[in-house]
Structure 1
Amino acid sequence: MRLTLPLIALVLAAPAQLQAQTMHYPETRRVTQVDEQFGVKVADPYRWLENDVRTDAEVAKWVADENALTNAYLATLPGRDIFAARLKTLLDYERFGVPVKKGGHYFYTHNSGLQNQAVLYVRDSVDGAGRVLIDPNGWSKDGATALAEWSPSEDGKKLAYAVQDGGTDWRTVKVLDVATGAVSDTIEWVKFSGLAWAKDGSGFYYSRFAAPAAGAKFQALNENQQIYFHKLGTAQAADPLIYATPESPKLGHTAQVTDDGKWLVITTHEGTDNRYQITVIDLTAPKPVPRTIFKGLDYEWSLAGNVGGTFYWVTNKNAPRGRIVATNLYARSAEVPEQELVAQGKDVLDGASLVGGKLLVSYLADVKSEIRRYTLDGKPDGVVPLPGIGAAGGFGGEEGDPETFFAFTSFATPTTIYRYDVKTGQATPWAAPKVAFDPARYTVEQRFYASKDGTQVPMFIVRRKDVSGPAPTLLYAYGGFNISVTPAFSATRLAWLEQGGVLAVANIRGGGEYGKAWHDGGRLANKQNVFDDFIAAGEYLKAQGVTGKDQLVIQGGSNGGLLVGAVTNQRPDLFAAALPAVGVMDMLRFDRFTAGRYWVDDYGYPSKEADFKTLYAYSPYHNIRAGKAYPAILAETADTDDRVVPGHTFKYTAMLQSLDLGPKPRLVRIETRAGHGSGKPTDKVIAETADAWAFAAKWTGLTVKPVE
């Protein structure tokens, strides 16, 4: 964000406390917009900041002025350059993706260290030399055009891949000839889609939306998603429509082809709540027609694999922590009968795959991965050995393939790729990175603390072994959409830990760490539990002497940005600094833009009175209260974020800056040519993180020194 823009008046010669008192924020025009909802008059004085920065000159000027002010302030922080230099070193290590095996070839991503984007490689044998298939680092001068989703054909001769430009959720799909490198075919307006190849490699299935109106690409609601089939070598206009629900425009659809190539499985959803409708198409039938086998959008249904007409599913039907059932699709009864194979247990069933004739089932046991094996009739068959306490993911492959791959990571363990031999049960490292740090210097512990209502909430605490007593602490959480925050290595967080800072990760309600009940306990009318859990985490860290007065900084992104904004309003006294990123800040208008309509499963409908009252009570934009001393705030967003449109953060920042909230700064960092997070180039990650850690260090008293 080192932009050469005109600087707003700013006194730089005083300590930060005094700087903030004399800081002059950009003038932000207020309007008299007032909406009456259910008898409540809701002011929205910064409605105009919702406009697209690309098409509204006034918004563009506001962004330039805010960035100039923020960058001028950040340039005064002594830790900024130290963090940036160290982050460059820490991120300069090899990073591998989990390989996908097709046609005897192994496809995987690899970043040599400081490449802005990961490169796609292929090996012709499991231990052979890799060769470059796609290197996106030359696609744009600023490195902000990324390789997104990709999928090889069954024989490994073709590869469909998606291009993501500037962080947007929109994708352009192309096809690569693996042998020659020739690129062909172009598919536009793809979003939230898989790329599912037909067994014979003649083409692939994909999901798309209609082209948005001119100027509405980054803000228009995403409705009427449809599934098409693209036959190689033909124009997109000729692609036949496979499945759509025009009578229900809010439904979204994704497609997958079974490993045997005989079935197309269509997963339909309306929101984000893992409640699906499943439709299948028998591709071997003379006239393939859709057949909905699980109706009603009531439960989760995730396909682990199939053997002929017997399908194996992960579901939470009658099992809030998950179970595995089998169905016979050749049964032509009105209701497809379900046979339970693996019953619900005390731990959360997090996923399953059918590989090498076995069911490999992933569980979360107090937020830590366990991988258990089962035979196809549901009998326990041992476990997959993991190298420690952490998180494991992957395990893709086909029913008859004897090998699969998985990634393992933990807070002090860089992501390592393992090959797993299903027959022998042995896991061996396939790609192990080397990072410029000593994991033996760090300690990771899991504690449980009581929330406001007595609920026990787990929290990981990571620090250097020589750090004892109160220390500057970064508290992170997410708390939404059934997403579990599992242990994971982060080179960017390591830069904070090296300096003597503490990392705390709270597994608050709203996530999926303990199944449906944990999720339900933090959504809709229960959303306040999420904020109470997070506040209780901060209070616990102080009570236990992990951190002290004016040493606690909080961070969260997206739904976590909402979390940070809400708790800052509710308990500004508890935190020294706050880092809300790409947050949902206006809870009364979130469903009017792009993917926002999907989030009603977690947040509710602003148009319904009961939901409105709940949302209005915690909406960050609407609940900033003048006269209270707020922590130092550095909000973050990006101009091409079309997941949570940047207007959320723009309006929130304008409101913060308009009120008397004490002497600490309230700034916003607006990245250019970036989106919600995916595809962000490494150099932007370094600059963004250095700014955040330097800001947090300043306001928590962390002394930043060069690392030898």
Structure 2
Amino acid sequence: MSEPTATDPYLWLEQVTDDRALDWARAHNEVVVAAFAESDRFVELEGRILDMLDTDTKIAYPGRRGPWLYNFWRDAEHPRGLWRRTTFDEYAKPAPDWDVLIDVDALAEAEDENWVWGGAGVLRPEQSRALISLSRGGADAKVVREFDMASRTFIDPADGGFHLPEAKSQLSWIDIDTVYVGTDFGPGSLTESGYPRIMKKWRRGTELSSAETVFEGEPSDVAVSAGYDRTPGYERHFVGRATDFFNEEVFLLEDDGSLRRLDIPTDASESWYKDWLLIRLKSPWEIAGAAYPAGALLAIDFERFLAGERDFEIVFTPDEHTALHGFGWTENYLLLATLEDVQTKLYVLTPSAEGWKREPLADTPPMASTSVANLDPLEGGDEYMLTTSGFTTPTTLLAGSVGQGAEKLKQEPGFFDADTVETEQFFARSEDGTRVPYFVIRRRDRRGVPGPTVMSGYGGFEVSRTPAYSGASGMGWLERGGTWVMTNIRGGGEYGPQWHTSVQKANRYKVYEDFAAIAKDLVERGITTPAQLGAVGGSNGGLLMGVMLTRYPELFGAIVCQVPLLDMKRYHLLLAGASWMAEYGDPDKPEEWAYISEYSPYQNVRSDLRYPPILITTSTRDDRVHPGHARKMTALLEELGHPVWYHENIEGGHGGAADNKQSAFQAALIYEFFAEQLMKG
């Protein structure tokens, strides 16, 4: 077994923009392009995927702010994108007339910057100003600038405009002349994870250095935050302190500057609307003589809660098969989305003095995901939108109002022939007996014939993976006769918070046992063979791929590992890694490194095992998961003679791509790699 971190010969590859490291990356890129990206088949697939990403026929998904629907749009003519808005009546037309607010391509050219859109915070209710986030090359660190919606111009700081230089910042409106700001104020102002440690109130026309401190966290915290609830008659200022990735203390900020902590479990998530406080539990809670299960959603009158009362009403209770997936308010109702064995059900809850009445909201198709979007209780009444999507069914957008049903508003076209493709759900037994679900998507003529199969996984941070249409996998894999598998391994939230919390830290190995169990189940069912089975995952899913390579190499014929964590001895020292210790553990503590070291891929590479071919990808501009993970793993595998390919996008951030062209290249590269490795002969 190699022990690279004792005297790591590849630490120089952690120097992100060092010329030697970049030359190393470019040399590897040339090898990958020559091997997989120059064939006619690759060029055709890349072009089809790019056409799909650029097409005008895809849905322009809106974000509602009262009478306005905002949208960020990329196409062939605008690869960096347009930020625009329109009215609901106009949006309902087949070809809406959009009011373009910012052309990012024109802005990047005018300012000679590699701008990538990072989002907009619109001031309400006036919607006359916005705080615009832009990153260089797609990084998490962003520049924030104030934008005037009427003149379509950024407001110069010399004229009183709010402006923050590049950092991992938070800037949010209080009113037209005041914001909450957390950023890099200088030494000691950031947490060890690189996020704001101090929140200040900043008034227009004053220097940032003179902003008033309203809250401070500890250096060991992940981040602090602040915000303002502008609901008329219920205005509230609040601050939060995330002590780790999953725990946060939340306080109301009183007019005199004092703090009033909300007495709820720190791992619970809270939200409020008008008179109601909602609490979603992630662990069991006993309070005032009552016991509430993990995954439950509790409700109570907010003022009575602040007065000390704890007579909660349970508005959702989980069971063995059902978990809460999401919720949100209209003006008068609470809408719930649940997952029942990873399939969506929607409900509408009506609060009253007599209790909460629950009824179905809308029908949801099987083998698909349906989510509620564009709720605006302040200015949108009881209207809502639904998006529904399945592995073979393009996304449909519906609009409705509680009590009146929903009607189809938009539907995306299909981008591959799905008439002969079917979706099935199966369950595998993990080593501890847990039933783990997964979906199989394949052509009907593949039944009973083992064939090339790719399974994808994530398994962390309570991220639920649900059915969704993917034109790229359809074109790149299903049309070629391949089978696609989406796994719902533990670590996600498909069965509520315990599906995640049961495999944190010392129990992390169960995530990997789940994925391996599905790989074996696919073979036992005759869907594939080990030589024809591939696996793909990114970020935390990239760590999953690293473990599959080093711990279960006999199960796979090829692996793609994207923007991964791999050196778990040093992950907490690199970029945002310290914020994830609540998930994985602290490698500086011997008792925790003892279990991390059992699976950390970089520390478990061996020369005496045969590994399947692996493609490792990352981005130079990823300032969340350090590209050094991918670089060092590649170098070590090469040293020991294992088959490895490496590609590094010089832009793209943690998503790996900064525009549609880069996204199309990376998608085509993955499918071409799998085709070369798994469809031989």
Tell me the equivalent position of 1:315. Answer: 281
Q: Distance in 2 between matches of 1:191 and 1:338?
A: 43
Letter in 2 for 1:145: W
1:152-199: CA deviations, max 9, x gaps?
22122222221122121011112222222122235325766665432x
Q: Distance in 2 between matches of 1:320 and 1:192?
A: 32
Alpha carbons of structure 1 residues 375 and 637: separation in structure 2 relative to 1, 3 Å = same
The 8 Å contact of residues 280 and 295 in structure 2, kept in 1 or not, is answered as: no
Tell me the equivalent position of 2:158. Answer: none
Alpha carbons of structure 1 residues 404 and 233: separation in structure 2 relative to 1, 3 Å = farther
Q: Distance in 2 between matches of 1:517 and 1:701?
A: 39
Q: Distance in 1 between matches of 2:140 and 2:347?
A: 35
Q: Distance in 2 between matches of 1:171 and 1:555?
A: 29
Q: Distance in 2 between matches of 1:517 and 1:172?
A: 38
Alpha carbons of structure 1 residues 237 and 414: separation in structure 2 relative to 1, 3 Å = farther
User: How far did 1:494 drift?
Assistant: 1.8
Does 1:174 pair with 2:138?
no
Q: Which moved more, 1:686-695 or 1:170-179?
A: 170-179
RMSD: 2.9
Q: Structure 2 residue aligned with 1:414, among 381, 390, 394?
A: 394
Tell me the equivalent position of 2:14. Answer: 50
SS class of match (1:294)? coil
Does 1:138 pair with 2:119?
no
User: How far did 1:322 drift?
Assistant: 2.6
Alpha carbons of structure 1 residues 189 and 613: separation in structure 2 relative to 1, 3 Å = farther
User: How far did 1:601 drift?
Assistant: 1.1
SS class of match (1:379)? strand
SS class of match (1:147)? strand
Q: Distance in 1 between matches of 2:177 and 2:400?
A: 31
Q: Structure 2: 5+ residue runs without aligned partners?
A: 92-96, 156-160, 286-291
SS class of match (2:519)? helix
The 8 Å contact of residues 620 and 651 in structure 2, kept in 1 or not, is answered as: yes
Q: How does 1:66-77 map to 2 (within 5 A)?
A: 66-75=28-37
1:665-693: CA deviations, max 9, x gaps?
31110111221107621000111111111
Q: Distance in 2 between matches of 1:171 and 1:398?
A: 30
Tell me the equivalent position of 2:288. Answer: none
Tell me the equivalent position of 1:28. Answer: none
Alpha carbons of structure 1 residues 239 and 697: separation in structure 2 relative to 1, 3 Å = same
Does 1:692 pair with 2:667?
no
Tell me the equivalent position of 2:457. Answer: 477
User: How far did 1:221 drift?
Assistant: 4.3
Q: How does 1:634-673 map to 2 (within 5 A)?
A: 634-661=615-642, 665-673=643-651
Tell me the equivalent position of 1:18. Answer: none
Q: Distance in 2 between matches of 1:667 and 1:699?
A: 12
Does 1:440 pair with 2:419?
yes
User: How far did 1:433 drift?
Assistant: 2.3
Q: Structure 2 residue aligned with 1:271, among 240, 244, 248?
A: 244
TM-score by length of 1: 0.85
Q: Structure 2 residue aligned with 1:187, among 156, 163, 179?
A: 163
Letter in 2 for 1:440: D
Letter in 2 for 1:685: S
Letter in 1 for 2:200: Y
User: How far did 1:120 drift?
Assistant: 2.0
Q: Distance in 2 between matches of 1:370 and 1:193?
A: 36
Tell me the equivalent position of 1:19. Answer: none
SS class of match (1:320)? coil
Q: How does 1:204-603 map to 2 (within 5 A)?
A: 204-210=179-185, 221-232=193-204, 235-245=207-217, 247-260=218-231, 262-273=235-246, 275-282=247-254, 285=255, 287-294=256-263, 297=266, 299-303=267-271, 305-308=272-275, 310-316=276-282, 317=285, 318-329=292-303, 333=307, 337=310, 339-346=312-319, 347-377=322-352, 378-389=355-366, 390-391=368-369, 392-398=371-377, 401-422=381-402, 424-468=403-447, 469-495=449-475, 496-603=477-584
User: How far did 1:499 drift?
Assistant: 1.6
Alpha carbons of structure 1 residues 678 and 684: separation in structure 2 relative to 1, 3 Å = closer
Q: Distance in 2 between matches of 1:192 and 1:656?
A: 33
Q: Which moved more, 1:256-265 or 1:499-508?
A: 256-265
Alpha carbons of structure 1 residues 121 and 411: separation in structure 2 relative to 1, 3 Å = same
1:30-52: CA deviations, max 9, x gaps?
xx9976xxxxxx44232222122
Q: Distance in 2 between matches of 1:555 and 1:628?
A: 21
Tell me the equivalent position of 1:64. Answer: 26
The 8 Å contact of residues 623 and 654 in structure 2, kept in 1 or not, is answered as: yes
User: How far did 1:351 drift?
Assistant: 2.5
Residue-pair matches, total: 646
Letter in 1 for 2:346: I
Q: How does 1:52-201 map to 2 (within 5 A)?
A: 52=16, 54=17, 56-75=18-37, 79-93=41-55, 94-96=57-59, 98-112=61-75, 115-127=78-90, 129-140=97-108, 145-154=115-124, 155-184=126-155, 185-188=161-164, 196-198=172-174, 200-201=175-176
Q: Distance in 2 between matches of 1:169 and 1:131?
A: 28
Q: Distance in 2 between matches of 1:403 and 1:610?
A: 52
Alpha carbons of structure 1 residues 533 and 135: separation in structure 2 relative to 1, 3 Å = same
Q: Which moved more, 1:489-498 or 1:87-96?
A: 87-96
User: How far did 1:363 drift?
Assistant: 1.4
1:595-620: CA deviations, max 9, x gaps?
10111111000011221011111111
SS class of match (1:440)? coil
Q: Which moved more, 1:689-698 or 1:365-374?
A: 365-374
Q: Distance in 2 between matches of 1:478 and 1:380?
A: 36
The 8 Å contact of residues 96 and 111 in structure 1, kept in 2 or not, is answered as: no
Alpha carbons of structure 1 residues 355 and 498: separation in structure 2 relative to 1, 3 Å = same
Q: Which moved more, 1:81-90 or 1:479-488?
A: 81-90
The 8 Å contact of residues 119 and 135 in structure 1, kept in 2 or not, is answered as: yes
Q: Distance in 1 between matches of 2:60 and 2:310?
A: 38
Tell me the equivalent position of 2:660. Answer: 682
Q: Distance in 1 between matches of 2:528 and 2:114?
A: 38
The 8 Å contact of residues 98 and 407 in structure 1, kept in 2 or not, is answered as: no
1:101-134: CA deviations, max 9, x gaps?
3352222233447743442221134435321112
Q: Distance in 1 between matches of 2:132 and 2:423?
A: 38
Letter in 2 for 1:263: R
Alpha carbons of structure 1 residues 555 and 516: separation in structure 2 relative to 1, 3 Å = same
User: How far did 1:393 drift?
Assistant: 4.3
Q: How does 1:18-57 map to 2 (within 5 A)?
A: 42-52=6-16, 54=17, 56-57=18-19
Tell me the equivalent position of 2:607. Answer: 626
Alpha carbons of structure 1 residues 406 and 250: separation in structure 2 relative to 1, 3 Å = same
The 8 Å contact of residues 227 and 255 in structure 1, kept in 2 or not, is answered as: yes
1:610-633: CA deviations, max 9, x gaps?
210111111111111112221111
Quick one: percent identity of the two aligned structures?
Answer: 26
Alpha carbons of structure 1 residues 418 and 110: separation in structure 2 relative to 1, 3 Å = farther
